[in-house]
A and B are shown apart, each in its own frame.
Chain A
């Protein structure tokens, strides 16, 4: 077992035994379920909307070359500097380079999972720049020096009390349980940081090819301040974020808000199309768009799983996933948690290292059912399992599977094995749950139902011969 799989198992063991965590996450999500359903019902047809969204993303992803070209040429026409980053290193180097070139002192950043993916904060801090997260949830986990727990709700695992204690320790604020007061503590800190920062970094929710604009959707207004107050704005954009037309947002913005946060639409929705133009009173002097590949084109080349690039990072699949709810976001050890993370991480970071996430699923399909852009998530977990076996089968497991096949191709052997199981069951009962029990993985926490005294086959035969 590799180190990532080991860490996953250890963490999963810890979290599944933590009943407080289990209750807390269930409680945190129950409000979301109600709101999500309420706003889904406001669509004329949610299933029709899903079909349309999936078709739109299919078009964008299958003609990505054309739409990216269109997106970039429109952006450049208004003076935006575009950098094509083949991998994380190139993206980090470019952004650190821009900061150095402008002798930046402080960086402010709005929420971006793509920045998490390339470990941008680490790179900037190592180069001597101070980086502040301006999204409240991200700011909280930054203060705790831990990664986001959930790709949309980074601090959902924390109670108000824990946040109050954190602010008290790190910021010296008075302890309070009032969410408004807590928000005001962060807000006061943040306002100073906006004014001080000379570089703002954002992600993008969508990249509109038709108009050459990025769309950012948020609830706190922090991204607007992050992108408009500092003199430089850098947007880090995964190449899969493209939508063909501006009017596509009429579908995707409410869909993202509904699926992602149980809202009809988020509070702030902004389009960015370039740096400050002549005659404009505000906006950044320079606007850089960094387009990130980082092995996305490898996923694009995989016709079977290409639809995983449809993902709009709404997090809906995490919210319904019983694995996520029980093991928690930190157990995954990945930037993208939950079903979508289990599907794409093997593509982004290596199949053999991350195949265990595809195995850690009951394949219930709740993710696929909820996905607004209809990614066939749980079937892709099966595909990852198959691909991992094809590339490198585990010797013992292969032997077991071969033995299984042999037995299932010989009905007499199969019947004999079933009879043997029935006969030896009293023995198994003696060693139940101990190290001698071959069924230990099951019986340690669950009882094993007694096998029927007579098999269906025996009863059937008896019935046929009067």
Chain B
């Protein structure tokens, strides 16, 4: 609900079409593009009349914003895919680059380190936006971890197809996080947070994981 709270606080009307499901990234990444297209077509229909689509995860935003046009390349519905891609934003990208908002009026006492989700960072090019938002949160101390841009190892089905590699990557990431002494690790990608939390919990670490929106919703 945090995203809804932040957007409403900024004076926007939020709708949640209940017919929405998944963006189709799992079959797409596994190589099942025909299957992914079926799921994608559904979301394209659901969001046809929306003015702007805001997504809580850089990964899902990438699927729609970057991969839908590729998935529907030279397909009868290519124009529709491109139209949805053009109006779809990852949450922090929307606030900073579309709305031009840096200060959402949040207050969050704590030492925070930010983890870049790879999709948000490299596919959407959104490195500054989440940090700018965090820097404007009152009483929040932002500390950079070494190699913040290194992947946490989630990678969708990769995490269960190659659990040994995925976990090793997660451990490297968590060592970087631990080095900052932060109380919270914040990201704009829910799946990275699941991976990081999974490893931190197993290591018995007390660092908490939070989505960027959860921080920005605090006043």
Contacts and interface: CB of A to CB of B under 8 A. Distances in A.
Interface string B191-206: 0001101110110000
B32 A363 contact: no
Interface string A194-238: 000000000000000000000000000000000000000000000
Interface stretch (A10-18, A118-126, A168-176): A10-18
A385 B31 contact: yes
B45 to A, nearest CB: 11
Contacts of A382: 28-29, 31
B198 A447 contact: yes
B35 A404 contact: yes
A326 interface: yes
Contact of B164 (A16, A361, A364, A368): A16
Main SS of the interface on chain B?
helix
Interface stretch (B85-93, B134-142, B149-157): B149-157
Contacts of A427: none
A359 B153 CA distance: 13
B31 A409 contact: no
Interface in B158-180: 158-170, 172
A177 B202 CA distance: 39
A270 B165 CA distance: 41
B168 A16 contact: yes
B170 A446 contact: yes
A404 B27 contact: yes
Contacts of A26: 172
Interface residues of B, number: 53
A389 B157 CA distance: 15
A405 B31 CA distance: 14
A267 interface: no
B32 A401 contact: yes
Interface stretch (A253-261, A281-289, A453-461): A453-461
Interface stretch (B15-23, B47-55, B74-82, B101-109): B15-23
B1 A456 contact: yes
Contacts of A409: 21, 38-39, 42
Given A369-B122, A445-B167, A446-B199, A385 B29 contact: yes
Contacts of B35: 401-402, 404-405
B163 A444 contact: yes
B123 interface: yes
B197 A404 contact: no
Interface in A1-54: 9, 12-13, 16-17, 22, 26
Interface residues of A, number: 54
A322 B150 contact: yes
A407 to B, nearest CB: 8
B33 interface: yes
B10 interface: no
B31 A12 contact: no
A440 B169 CA distance: 18
A388 B30 CA distance: 10
Nearest to B196: A446
B71 to A, nearest CB: 10
A365 B155 contact: no
B96 to A, nearest CB: 21
A398 B165 contact: no
Contacts of B20: 411
Contact of B154 (A22, A360, A362): A362
A327 interface: yes
A323 interface: yes
A397 interface: yes
Given A409-B42, A449-B198, A12 B153 contact: no
A360 B167 contact: no
B154 to A, nearest CB: 6
A442 B21 contact: no
A445 B22 contact: no
B159 A442 contact: yes
Given A408-B24, A411-B18, A366 B150 contact: yes
A385 B67 CA distance: 15
B158 A365 contact: no
A153 interface: no
Contacts of B30: 385, 389, 397, 401
Interface in A387-443: 387-390, 393, 397-398, 401-402, 404-405, 407-409, 411, 414, 441-442
A448 interface: yes
Contact of A360 (B31, B162, B199, B201): B162
A244 B30 CA distance: 39
A144 interface: no
Interface in A322-351: 322-323, 325-327
Given A361-B155, A362-B159, A447-B201, 13 more contacts: A22-B168, A322-B150, A385-B31, A386-B31, A441-B161, A445-B164, A445-B167, A445-B199, A445-B202, A446-B195, A447-B197, A460-B1, A460-B16
Chain A to chain B: the 4 pairs with minimum beta-carbon distance, closest first: A362-B155, A446-B198, A385-B31, A364-B151
